[in-house]
Structure 1
Amino acid sequence: MSKGLFITGTGTDVGKTFTTALIVKKLRENGLNAGYYKAALSGAEKIKGKLVAGDAKYVCEVSGITDGPESLVSYIYETAVSPHLAAQIEKLPIEMNVIDADFEQMKTRFDYVTVEGSGGIICPLRRDEQTIMLTDVIKRLNLDVLIVAPSSLGTINSTVLTIEYAKQSGIAVKGIILNGYMEDNFLHVDNKFQIEQLTETPVIACVPKNSNDLAIPLQVLTDLFKEI
């Protein structure tokens, strides 16, 4: 049976894709059949008339996944806005049954599936005659979440709010990864302490800027994944 983990962040551009790539890389370097999936990606670059799933492409390059990046993403939009708005502009609404089917396929291809979200945890994927929020996808796929947060000023507020929202939505939070962490920065050190105290959620890894490895024991990492 496959195992899965959902990666969300405290906002946009906090390092979700960077961190996700390191997770998949560590699993694969240790001989595990690990893969990647993303339900919706917006802001894709068009090269020679073809949309390139940038986040998936980056994860594949870092982790060594040889599958085509576009096969790992259900919906790819060129417009660089929230997925729900990109879907409206490009007239390609997100359907939950497509996500279901694609995720089932990922489970047959990989033993460990790391699922990356879009934006922060409060991200609308569809807002027309029906509403699909990112939290709906997390619950539909029956996944727990790992939260990526920046180490800098303001992260206490955004991380605590993200965790509280997840809990209120009935989603289990397995841990936090602080991105851009500097051990000699007193603010970063205190942010880590305060976040753990206020949320009662462990910071499982602190990732320095431009790191090429996730400093976490393999067993601790694999224990974050849930049977799906």
Structure 2
Amino acid sequence: MSHAFFVTGTDTGIGKTVASVALLHALRARGQRAVGMKPVASGCDATPEGLRNDDALALQAASDPPPMYADVNPFAFADPTTPELAAALDGGRVALAPLQAAFTRLRGQADAVVVEGAGGWLAPWGPGLLQSDFVRALDLPVILVVGLRLGGISHAWLTARAIRADGLRLAGWIGNAIDPHWRHPDANRAILARGLEAPCLGVLPHGSDTGAAAGAHALRLDALLTAPPAPQRDCVT
């Protein structure tokens, strides 16, 4: 059975790439061929091969079999701003058809595809086109990356509500311990889990962006790779 997931976050810079790379390594550790995708990226660097995005390159490097960059990141823009504006500044426009075609090619190469979004759930990709429209078009289950910090609970609950309001399934969530001084982490995680009503797939330890192995070992994928489970009420590190 093949799997595909869309990874979104409660904000920009919340750890979506760290979580997506960890997911790829965890899937590969289970013997699956797993590839990553970053459909739209801004803030890309000019290279002899064309515009390249650090997050997309990290996903490509964590993938096996190695996918073509053009499939990993079909729309790459130079300006580090919201994708709709970055596309306009580059004289381009994001379209769903090329993204769907690239996704289909990636899915044909692997047992699992991990698709990382840009920014938050409702990031605008173009006039009349939201990131969530792409996820709906492919009907992908969603994994939410939550920054474990003050204010993160409200952001996470709002995002979960928006995902479900769009008719999509929140397949699970991953906590990212971005604030090592977050007070009462166990109690706060219990409150967070209560409102998300989705299985916790693990908590990435603080500093896990320095090593994919630490992030992969923190994840539990059984709930993700089976039928939709009952809601998990807490997340144990």
Instruction: Tell me whether the two structures share a fold, i.e. TM-score over 0.5.
Output: yes
Shift of 1:66: 2.9
Distance 1:220 1:161 in 2: 23
Post-superposition CA distance 1:119-151 (Å, at most 9, x none): 000111011xxx111110011011010100111
Q: Equivalent residue of 2:92, what SS?
A: coil
Say whether the 8 Å CA contact 1:176–1:201 is kept in structure 2.
yes
2:84 matches 1:87? no
Q: Which has the higher contact order (CA 8 A, sep 6+)?
A: 1
Distance 2:64 2:186 in 1: 33
Superposition map of 1:1-228 within 5 A: 2-48=2-48, 50-62=50-62, 66-127=66-127, 131-180=128-177, 186-211=183-208, 212-214=214-216, 215-223=218-226
Q: Identify unmatched segments of 5+ residues in structure 2.
A: 209-213, 229-237
- Decide whether aligned partners of structure 1 residues 217 and 197 sit closer, same or farther in structure 2, where only a CA change above 3 A counts: closer
Shift of 1:26: 1.2
- Decide whether aligned partners of structure 1 residues 53 and 182 sit closer, same or farther in structure 2, where only a CA change above 3 A counts: closer
TM superposition score normalised by structure 1: 0.88
RMSD: 2.2
Worse-superposed segment, 88-97 or 66-75: 66-75
Q: Equivalent residue of 2:12, what SS?
A: coil
Structure with the largest fraction of strand: 1
Distance 2:107 2:49 in 1: 30
Distance 2:88 2:77 in 1: 10
Q: Which letter maps to 1:77?
A: F
Distance 2:86 2:178 in 1: 33
Q: Equivalent residue of 2:17, what SS?
A: helix
TM superposition score normalised by structure 2: 0.85
Say whether the 8 Å CA contact 1:20–1:114 is kept in structure 2.
yes
Worse-superposed segment, 23-32 or 150-159: 23-32
Worse-superposed segment, 102-111 or 57-66: 57-66
Worse-superposed segment, 195-204 or 56-65: 56-65
Q: Identify unmatched segments of 5+ residues in structure 1.
A: none
Q: What is the number of equivalent residue pairs in this alignment?
A: 222
Shift of 1:168: 1.0
Q: Which letter maps to 1:13?
A: G
